[in-house]
Amino acid sequence: MALSEPEFAELQSRLHVQLDPGLLQLAVTHRSYAYENGGIPNNERLEFLGDSILGQAVTVMLYLRYPELDEGDLAKRRASLVSSVALAEVARSFGLGEFLLLGRGEMLTGGRDKASILADTVEAIIGATYLDAGGEVATELVMRLIQPLLDDPDRFGAAAMDSKTSLQEIAAARGAGAPVYTILEEGPDHDKRFVAIVAVGDLVTARGEGTSKKQAEMAAAFTAWTELTRS
């Protein structure tokens, strides 16, 4: 079922942008919903576009904001800000999950809070903003979305850059032993995704997703590290 006019208005209000309803609906249309509704267009092309705009905007911002950092440190900071973990955090901050158009299977398996889907949809919305309102407005949206991450360096600084090491250190400090990772694969060969589940003794169990095993493990480790530092 398509988004209603009140839903369009609410989502645009949360984003602080005015977008063409058709583009905004396309941006929140997951491929599972598209497949179940006769193969209508989905948000993957917008996601592709938005990923590029996001990366460029963050790269320029970091270059100008941190003149003292070398290329390696800039790359690490960029990776932490555009990761699926970070973008999913952004999406949850304004309740994006409630506006997603998902197929029945994804809805039944918690798709509205799945990090990969939320992150991809954020990128699609950025792409839609670029097409409808131009590069300047799209860049402003990117900066507005990631500002809370920049304001919280403990969460998206060193720990996010090397979350597996950070998790190992906090696990050792609490006498829990080394984190144990389990890797699962999802999806067809042409669209493979990996899920990592990490257990830190009896303290915490966390899940992460990614397009590679390493990315999934880093996402799981960061989620576990975040939970442990807050407990």
- Per-residue pLDDT of 76-118, as tens digits, reads 788 778 888 789 889 999 999 999 999 998 999 888 988 889 9
**146 and 182 co-located in one domain:** no
Sole residue written with tokens 């397009």:
211
pLDDT at residue 157 is higher than 60: no
The whole-angstrom separation of Cα 174 and Cα 200 is 10
Instruction: State yes or no: is 51 an active-site residue.
Output: yes
Encode pLDDT of 4-40 as tens digits: 899 999 999 999 999 999 999 999 999 999 999 999 9
Residues 14, 93, single domain; the answer is: yes
Q: How confident is the model at residue 47 (pLDDT cuts 50, 70, 90)?
A: very high
Does some domain include residue 157? no
Per-residue pLDDT at 77: 82
120 known member of a binding site = yes
In a domain, 145, yes or no: yes
Higher pLDDT, 164 or 205: 205
Q: Which of 89, 123, 209, 217 is catalytic?
A: 123
Q: Which pLDDT does position 166 carry in this prediction?
A: 81
The whole model's pTM is what? 0.76
**What CATH number does residue 210 fall under?**
3.30.160.20
Q: Is 136 annotated as a binding residue?
A: no
The reply to whether 37 and 103 lie within a common domain is yes
67 and 93 inside one domain: yes
Domain membership flag for residue 226: yes
Domain match, 37 and 71 both: yes
- Predicted confidence at residue 160, as pLDDT, reads 57
What are the backbone dihedrals phi and psi of residue 39, each rounded to the nearest 5 degrees, phi first?
Answer: 75, 35
- Per cent of the chain over pLDDT 90 is 54
Q: Quick one: 107 and 45 in the same domain?
A: yes
Which is the catalytic residue, given 51, 89, 106, 217? 51
229, 231, 230, 185: which is closest to 211 by C-alpha?
185
* pLDDT value at 188 more than 80: no
The domain of 217 spans 163-230
Number of domains in the chain: 2
- The tokens of 97 are what? 């999950």
Of the three residues 99, 127, 151, the one that is the final residue of a domain is 151
pLDDT of the residue at 115? 82
Q: Which CATH number fits the domain that encloses residue 48?
A: 1.10.1520.10
Q: Is 123 assigned to a binding site?
A: yes
Q: What mean pLDDT comes out for the span 113-129?
A: 93
For the chain, percent of residues with pLDDT exceeding 70: 94
Confidence band for 225, pLDDT divided at 50, 70 and 90:
confident
Bridge partners, 199 (sequence order): 180, 205
d(CA 224, CA 208): 9
Q: Is residue 156 part of a domain?
A: no
One domain for residues 11 and 104: yes
How many other C-beta atoms are found inside a 10 Å radius of the C-beta of residue 73? 13
> What mean pLDDT is predicted for residues 115-132?
95
Q: Are residues 59 and 108 in the same domain?
A: yes
